[in-house]
Structure 1
Amino acid sequence: MRIVVKLLFACTALIITFCGSKKDSKEAETTLNLRFLDEYVLPAESTLNNTKVGGLSSIDYTNDSYYLLSDDTESPRFYKAEISFDLNGFDSIFMKSVTLLKDKNGLDFSEGSIDPESLRYDNGAFIWTSEGNINNGVNPFIRISDSNGIFVKEIDIRDRFLIHADSNFGPRHNGVFESITLSHHQKGYWVAMELPLKEDGVEPTLEETHSPVRIAFINKKTGNFEKEIVYELDKVTRPATNGATFELNGIVEILEYDTNKFIVLERSYSMGYADGGNTVKIYDVDASKATNVSSINSLKGSSYTKVTKKLLFNFEDIRKELTNGIVDNIEGLTFGPNFKNGNRSLLVVSDNNFSNYGPQLNQFILFEVEK
């Protein structure tokens, strides 16, 4: 069974600017449009090999297959999927296989030791992140596993991203490595914090705040953290309601599409709303003039140049076209194959939290990137 929302081609379009390779400095930039095509909701009761398909925190595409990370803290895993669509929208989503991720000793992870968030395919292996559990003293990590989920390598994390003895420093709980992307030149990875480090700034609120997050480059050859750049978060979009008080806004996924050019998913969430409480936006981000702040211990009061960001798409523009008017807990983003007309596809996916906090959706949303 599937639930699909089909739309006519009179859909919302917003401008995206992509830069081609810099082989010729005089080469003109290409302006593209992001156009919403369709939604597909995978039933919450979907299972595969005795696992429940849900908690889909990231999506990546390579070699005609999609890989989706499930953030099950007791049994972290990724699914290999076949997703069929064209310019008329989705046709089907089929989960083909599931792979359990193992710890350093090849064993299952112990309960509470992991919070998987993002996964990318890289030359036969997978690099993936865990936010850990800051409140319980569990540090985040970035690891590489083989195609069977077996541990291969761990990236050495810079001290500033680890739990600090002084509670005024270090990462915030549930605000660490939410997203990762391969670099455009294939020499490393970019990993983004979801929230500011405590020494860098405050969490976003309903008022305008200074909430800078770090996006760091990891050299693939050495495994070292190198350049760090700063992205400024928006304020929280709307107040929590119906007696709730929880609100936040942060980076949930990044995708480098050209050197120093990123697509960034930013999500504001407020409790108490029947429509899910999420306000999700896609930004085009230019880091070409951003300062390398890797030597700056605290961004508070420091002088630096942030990345520039331009709004590309606000999911509020299509809320009425989605199932029950819900923009769910969107966390994953990837380019897919080109359409027959030569335009590129772009897919996002939501983490339904296994509906532990009320009914949510395994929501896939498809865009065409037009010239």
Structure 2
Amino acid sequence: MLNRLLVSASFAFLLSAPALALETGTRFDTPCPLSDCSASISLSFLGEVTLPTGTMIDGVEFGGISGLDYDFPSRRFIAISDDRSQKAPARFYDLDIQVDAKGLHSVNVSQTTTLLDTNGKPFAEKTVDPEAIRFSQDGILWTSEGDAKAGLPPFLRVTGDDGQFVREFVLPEGFAPSADKTSGIRNNNAFESLAVMKDGDIIVGLEAALYQDGPASTLTNGSLARLIRFDATSGLAKAQYVYPVSPIPQAPVKADGWNDNGMPEILALDNHRLLTLERGYAQDIGNTIRLFMIDLDGATDVSKIGSLSTTEERIVPVRKTQILDLGAIGLTPDNVEAMTFAKGQDGTDVLILASDNNFNAEQTTQFLAFEVLKRPR
């Protein structure tokens, strides 16, 4: 089902004007991440656009943006909502993002596409949890996080431009949820991140450890999340790596307040390096959003290790180094979960981040843009 939407002036979202401590044009350099000067990365801040919660698009509330991608040949932006078919059937959006070397100017929603199940029908309520989206050679890749409480496994699928199901990748053993929580995904900590490598391989990342691999992050300890490397043609997993999610960066104000930290997005740089995004939250304090660079080279393939917490084998996780902390540079990040490289209207290389507002009136859908002055390719 394809819902075309022509965006009128009332749906034009212009650059908001918050009091930013970070000036447009401020540059951030990491000359030798992972002690590798060939992996140098430099970013320059371009600006921020926010869309208020409650914005209606074609009669449906816009929000829940959990994944964002850009197709270089067609210059097309798409974003996926993590609405579990509760406000409307699961869907992704086409966006018109106006950005160039002078700044991030506006974000418009130009089209809504309904995601369809294997029977060609819209997903029923609470049968899917869309989280990540990427363009690929044979269609649009997207993930569902599943629902551990309901016993629904996560999945990685290919859909056409019209939302029709094309095919599904094979879920490796050990990832399906278990009722007794001895193995499989944690609820809301599953297939959150997705990247397409330069050689075509596909990486899917968990937000936190599988139950058999250890605990989720705490204030004093991190979490061992798995990255699955899929062969794009066969749909089979060819390797798995360990990504060390950082400990929760801040404690809540109240001792019984909520806090967490996870890894909701990854983005390919080349065939072995990626950017990762970690999102922490502390109740009554706010979000901590950090970007890291990781390198898969030299990391142990753990696909044949059933439990990271009980194995006696030597395991080398991916190498990891911090690139940017959005709060530390003067921004006030919302619940950022999505990122993509793109081209501005003037050809400028850009990195765009987007937040999931959780359909919460106290949050917004936030877009942040950086010019990419240098990065490994």
Report Cα offsets for 1:199-258 as digits up to 9, x if no partner. Answer: 111111111x25211101111111101100111111101112346532211111001111
Aligned residues of 2:100 and 2:344 also touching (Cα < 8 A):
no
Summarize the Cα distance change of 1:266–1:287 in structure 2 as closer, same or farther, 3 Å threshold.
same
TM-aligned CA deviation for residue 72 of structure 1: 1.1
CA RMSD of superposed structures (Å): 2.2
CA–CA distance in structure 2, aligned partners of residues 14 and 353 of structure 1? 32
Q: Which amino acid aligns with 1:346?
A: L
Cα deviation per residue 1:49-99 (whole Å; 9 max; x = unaligned)?
Answer: 222211111110012110000111112111111111122211221111110
Partner amino acid, structure 2, of 1:73: R
Structure 2 matches for 1:198-237, cutoff 5 A? Answer: 198-207=211-220, 209-237=221-249
Per the alignment, in what secondary structure is the counterpart of residue 229 of structure 2?
A: strand
Change (3 A) 1:66 1:317: same
**Which residue is 2:338 aligned to?**
332
- Cα drift, residue 166 of structure 1: 4.6
Contact 2:293 2:321 in 1 (8 A): yes
Aligned to 1:22: none
1:242-253 alignment runs, 5 A limit: 242=254, 244-253=256-265
Amino acid at match of 2:217: P
Whether contact under 8 Å (2:14, 2:105) holds in the other structure is no
CA–CA separation in structure 2 for the residues paired with 1:291 and 1:86: 40
**16 and 60 in structure 1: CA distance in 2 versus 1, 3 angstrom threshold:** farther
Instruction: Show CA shifts across 1:274-305 (max 9, x none).
Output: xxx21110001111110111111111254111
Q: Quick check: 1:183 aligned with 2:197?
A: yes
Q: Name the aligned partner's letter for residue 123 of structure 2.
A: F
> Mapping of 1:49-198 within 5 angstroms?
49-62=58-71, 63-74=74-85, 75-123=89-137, 125-164=139-178, 166-186=180-200, 188-198=201-211
1:87-127 deviations in Å (ceiling 9; x for gaps): 22112211111101111111121111111100111136211
Aligned match for 1:345, one of 350, 360, 364: 350
Unaligned runs of 5+ in 2: 1-12
With over 3 angstroms needed to count, the CA separation of the structure-2 counterparts of 1:18 and 1:347, relative to structure 1, is farther
Q: Per the alignment, do residues 3 and 345 of structure 1 end up closer, same or farther by CA in structure 2, a change over 3 Å counting? A: closer
- The 8 Å contact of residues 69 and 119 in structure 1, kept in 2 or not, is answered as yes
Change (3 A) 1:32 1:163: closer
Instruction: Verify: 1:288 aligned to 2:293, yes or no.
Output: no
Matches of 1:219 and 1:150, distance apart in 2: 22
1:11 to 11, 19, 26: 26
Q: Secondary structure at the match of 1:29?
A: helix
Q: Is the 8 A contact 1:16 1:312 kept in 2?
A: no
1:32 CA displacement: 2.9
- Contact 1:329–1:352 (CA under 8 A) maintained in structure 2: yes
**Which of 162-171 and 361-370 deviates more?**
162-171
Cα distance, 1:16–1:194 mapped onto 2, change above 3 Å: farther
Opposite residue 362 of structure 2, the aligned amino acid is P
Give distance in 2, aligned partners of 1:78 and 1:362: 15
CA distance in 2, matches of 1:281, 1:339: 27
Are the structure 2 counterparts of residues 290 and 343 from structure 1 closer, same or farther at C-alpha, using a change threshold of 3 Å?
A: farther
Identity over aligned residues, as a percent? 31
SS at 1:40 equivalent: strand
Say which of 365, 368, 371 aligns to 1:365.
Answer: 368
Tell me which moved more, 290-299 or 81-90: 81-90
Measured in 2, the distance between the counterparts of 1:111 and 1:16 equals: 47
Distance apart, 1:4 and its partner CA:
2.5
1:142 and 1:118 mapped to 2: Cα distance? 9
TM-score (norm 1): 0.89
Q: Decide whether aligned partners of structure 1 residues 30 and 218 sit closer, same or farther in structure 2, where only a CA change above 3 A counts.
A: closer
- The size of the alignment, in residue pairs, is 351
TM normalised by structure 2 equals: 0.87
Structure 1 Cα separation of the partners of residues 156 and 40 of structure 2: 35
Q: The residue matched to 2:367 in structure 1 has which SS? A: strand
SS in 1 for 2:269: strand
Q: Which moved more, 1:6-15 or 1:228-237?
A: 6-15
Q: What letter is aligned with 1:315?
A: L
Give the whole-Å Cα distance in 2 for the aligned partners of 1:44 and 1:210: 32
Contact in 1 for aligned 2:159/2:165 (Cα 8 Å): yes
Amino acid at match of 2:188: N
Residue 23 of structure 1: aligned partner? none
Q: For 1:285, what is the secondary structure of its paired residue?
A: strand
SS at match of 1:111: coil
- The one-letter code sitting in structure 1 at the alignment partner of 2:356 is D
Contact 1:54 1:353 in 2 (8 A): yes
Q: Structure 1 residues 154 and 9 mapped into 2: Cα distance closer, same or farther (>3 Å)?
A: closer
CA contact (8 A) 2:50 2:365 kept: yes
State the partner residue of 1:262. 274
What secondary structure is seen at the aligned counterpart in 2 of 1:161? Answer: coil
Read off the aligned partner of 2:109 and give its amino acid letter: M
CA deviations on 1:107-149 (whole Å, 9 max, x unpaired) are 1211111111001111362111111110122221111111000
